[in-house]
Amino acid sequence: MNEKVIEISGVNPVELYGVNESKLNVIKKYFPKLKVIARGDVLRAIGDDNEISLFEGKIALMMKHLLKYKQLTENNIERLMDEEDGAKSKTLRHDDDALVFGNGGLIVKAKTANQRKLVSFSNEKDLIFAIGPAGTGKTYTAVALAVRALKNKEVKRIILTRPAVESGENLGFLPGDLKEKLDPYMQPLYDGLRDMIPAEKLAEMLESGIIQIAPLAFMRGRTLDKSFVILDEAQNATESQFKMFLTRMGKSAKFIITGDPSQVDLPKRQPSGLVQALKVLKDVKDIGFVTFDEKDVIRHKLVKAIIGAYKEVED
């Protein structure tokens, strides 16, 4: 048994430990083999050298997070604990792996292993499937990659599309003109863009067509050249729509398809084009496939638990 004394410097120990050590207790759960004692600005860790080293590294990450963002929530702790030491530690130390520098000082980075895999594939492949449950950052990361490509002049436009299909709703029942009917379906795409592009600039890009947001049905007949195209909620595309979309791919185009095959909102007798495409294209060379799971969830900690609970029932 070895002992390591870790000094807490630059941050308020209470912010790190939490009231009645509530945050520290969350951290301790990840190190059941260690005995951890907090005394003011000093932490004592007793146990195996490897465990102590890992614990010290995680505490350093927590302190850096606190210094940078001025707060440390239990969700933050869980995300940092789930991160791999090497590449992920780097994301908190450097800005050179930022995808986009957004509004209000926001730095958009890949935060999980599968998000980083998506980023890596985007540098190598022109067609990528990002599949998995809600809250894993599939769409948000894809939008960040699209914005980066546009800013770097790798493409001339961004096209964001999704099927206008939702559970229990119908466009005909919604008030307003066509744009007003469609906007609620496109809201998640707008949300990502608003984080990453100043409002005035975004309005100009939307007005000029540099950024286009449209329902999937509007893609028919187009050739999408020199474009970064994202098909979101792809599980709600029919088989014919999916084939139509894939064949829109022009020269110098990059396509990212995001969706969750377990959340199909199509009529019962209407098969999902995403489900079919995953089977048909699984052996096609130069297509990237990234499968997200509950470990990638970066929303409220309950989302991860909910996904896990449903997965157990479905299995």
Mean pLDDT highest for which of 56-60, 68-72, 225-229? 225-229
Q: What percent of the chain lies above the pLDDT cut of 90?
A: 42
E strands of 132-242, at which residues? Answer: 157-162, 211-215, 227-231
Angle, alpha carbons 35-92-79 (nearest 5°):
55
- Dmax over CA atoms of the chain, in Å, equals 70
As given in the structure block, the two tokens for residue 271 are: 């098969």
**Can you say whether the dihedral through the CA atoms of 265, 195, 148, 213 is positive or negative?**
positive
What integer pLDDT is reported at residue 93 of this predicted model?
A: 37
Going across the sheet that includes 287-291, the strands are: 211-215, 157-162, 227-231, 254-259, 127-131, 287-291
Summarize the confidence of residues 170-193 as an average pLDDT.
66
Tell me the pLDDT band of 173, cut-offs 50, 70 and 90.
low
Residue 8: what residue type? Answer: I
Question: What is the per-residue pLDDT across 95-135, written as a single tens digit (0 to 9) for each?
Answer: 447 888 888 777 888 888 899 999 999 988 999 999 998 88
What integer pLDDT is reported at residue 87 of this predicted model?
A: 37
Domain locations in the chain? 2-93, 100-314
Summarize the confidence of residues 223-237 as an average pLDDT.
92
Summarize the confidence of residues 241-268 as an average pLDDT.
91
**Can you say whether the dihedral through the CA atoms of 31, 33, 37, 41 is positive or negative?**
negative
Summarize the confidence of residues 226-239 as an average pLDDT.
93
Least confident range of 21-30, 84-93, 187-196 = 84-93
Torsion angle in degrees (nearest 10) through CA of 78, 84, 87, 89: 50
pLDDT at 144 over 50: yes
Q: Which CATH architecture has domain 2-93?
A: 2-Layer Sandwich (3.30)
Q: How far is CA 212 from CA 22, 216, 274, 284, in A?
A: 46, 12, 22, 29
211 or 73, greater pLDDT: 211
What integer pLDDT is reported at residue 96 of this predicted model?
A: 47
CA 148 to CA 102: how far, in whole Å?
11
Q: Which CATH superfamily is domain 100-314 in?
A: P-loop containing nucleotide triphosphate hydrolases (3.40.50.300)
